[in-house]
Chains A and B, each alone.
Chain A
């Protein structure tokens, strides 16, 4: 019983520390916004460099959806609804969730490792001793960059999966679904609310991943094992958080149906 209580206590303590850390990060955001060059650099390394993996994954997921959707729908003679199927699945679920998972693996882990190594090599201490607040100079710009990048990446993912290659390439070009009905079905079925919900989801995921990544890096034990543990924690915790939050958000968003 005692180990269990200890684990719970540790978890709650960690959560409290993480919340406190989030508050100080949020408080540092205005100052960080005044350093646009620093912010650009971070958006580049967090967002732009995650583009390739996002685009490629979007293509493949769209192609798989095209094949699976067509196979199922053609049995009912409803293959013209392929567009609706691909678009709704992508916009509502796979776009935000898969992009977030990829983002946690690609950018979240990199953020944690970078900040953790800065901690291990005394760079953060050096900043403090130079009277520069590392939360303002290091943490906040990376946090903002993460929050801005993920929703945009998710949008690009959706475009890749539905239109440019994925569903369209397989369904229309390869399997011969009529292009007109593919697009009209999408236009008719996808509501603004669907897109908005997808945006909200990926914004929430973005905040959570960026929060976990910078927190883990900043509090990593200053040695190689500590950095490796922190990186692993970032990927595991944010993946689980994404999936759990996705359920909660979905339950709230679509409870009317």
Chain B
């Protein structure tokens, strides 16, 4: 989808110079990321590179050691708790396994954010929820409980919940992991069509390269705390970064070693290593 010209200079989310660490483990060392309005942006990288962490930084659940995250021009980490909660109403997130509330039905799960944040009459809530569920093809599953859903269905319900309040930004955390090929195709098409139909801005965090690149407008590959490649899907595929190439082609050895750091193999077997 061609983005309006103004969007180029005014991204919805702008992260600059992000540094973040879990104790001694450094996750980000100066990461710059823009999520342009109306686009689907993909963030890829090997497991443990902090892709989910980035979503939590955008949502203000984590605070960066250095750097800023701006959402629609507002510095997320300078807000008071109340302001942050208000800001989050403009963001939807789909967690890795859906994170549906297990004691509520599908209907109530999607209605949850609407009930919490609006005072709409019951009939209108019903219509809204059914519209969202219809968009993900699960209007008929409204009375089921989360434990009665397949993995793919649970994620579609989570998608419906993420768009329940018509947010500006939707974040998808590993939307494809563990899905069968049919559900994967459904999920991908949904992300794209919801983005375009509702005028959203989307970010997908994933390591399913081919599937996510196929529907993305822009992509980042992160490794070792830095962005190693970025651009349109074609630019990323053509990237000369060894990291990016190893990741895109799924090679077992390269800049990312197959072996975890260990002493010399022969010495280790002979008992010479400490």
Chain A residues close to B by CB (< 8 Å):
118, 121-123, 125-133, 137
Contact = CB atoms under 8 A, between A and B. Distances in A.
B145 interface: no
Interface stretch (B1-9, B97-105, B206-214): B97-105
A132 B91 contact: no
B99 A131 contact: no
B97 A121 contact: yes
25 contacts: A118-B102, A122-B95, A122-B97, A123-B100, A123-B101, A125-B95, A126-B93, A126-B95, A126-B101, A128-B59, A128-B61, A129-B59, A129-B61, A129-B91, A129-B93, A130-B88, A130-B112, A131-B85, A131-B86, A131-B88, A131-B89, A131-B117, A132-B113, A132-B116, A137-B116
B97 A130 contact: no
Contact of A123 (B86, B89, B91, B102): B102
Contact of B61 (A121, A123, A125, A133): A125
Task: Select the residue from A121, A126, A133 with max chain B CB neighbours within 10 A.
Answer: A126
Interface string B140-172: 000000000000000000000100000000000
Interface residues of B, number: 21
Contacts, number: 47
Contacts of B86: 131
A142 B274 CA distance: 51
A132 B84 CA distance: 11
Contacts of B102: 118, 121, 123
Given A128-B61, A131-B117, A132-B116, 7 more contacts: A121-B97, A122-B96, A123-B102, A126-B100, A126-B101, A130-B113, A130-B161
Contacts of B116: 130-132, 137
B85 A122 contact: no
Tell me if A's interface is mostly helix, strand, loop or mixed. helix
Contacts of B97: 121-122
A83 to B, nearest CB: 45
A125 B171 CA distance: 13
A67 to B, nearest CB: 44
Nearest to A136: B116
Interface of B: 56, 59, 61, 85-86, 88-89, 91, 93, 95-97, 99-102, 112-113, 116-117, 161
A229 to B, nearest CB: 20
Contacts of B112: 130, 132
A123 B99 contact: yes
B95 A133 contact: no
Interface centre among A122, A123, A131 (most CB of B within 10 A): A131
**6 smallest beta-carbon distances between A and B, as pairs:** A122-B99, A126-B99, A131-B88, A131-B85, A122-B95, A129-B93
Contacts of A118: 102
A125 B56 CA distance: 9
B78 to A, nearest CB: 17
A129 B101 contact: no
Contacts of B85: 131, 133
A41 to B, nearest CB: 8
A121 B147 CA distance: 13
A65 B118 CA distance: 57
Contacts of A126: 93, 95, 99-101
Nearest to A124: B99
A125 to B, nearest CB: 7
A129 B95 CA distance: 10
A241 to B, nearest CB: 29
Nearest to A126: B99
Contacts of A129: 59, 61, 88, 91, 93
Nearest to B94: A126
B82 to A, nearest CB: 10
Nearest to A45: B103
B88 to A, nearest CB: 4
Contacts of A130: 88, 112-113, 116, 161
A126 B89 CA distance: 12
Contacts of B96: 122
B89 A125 contact: no
A129 B161 CA distance: 12
Contacts of A132: 112-113, 116
Nearest to B87: A131
A162 to B, nearest CB: 37
Given A126-B93, A131-B86, A131-B88, A121 B99 contact: yes
B61, B93, B96, most chain A CB atoms within 10 A = B93
Nearest to A133: B85
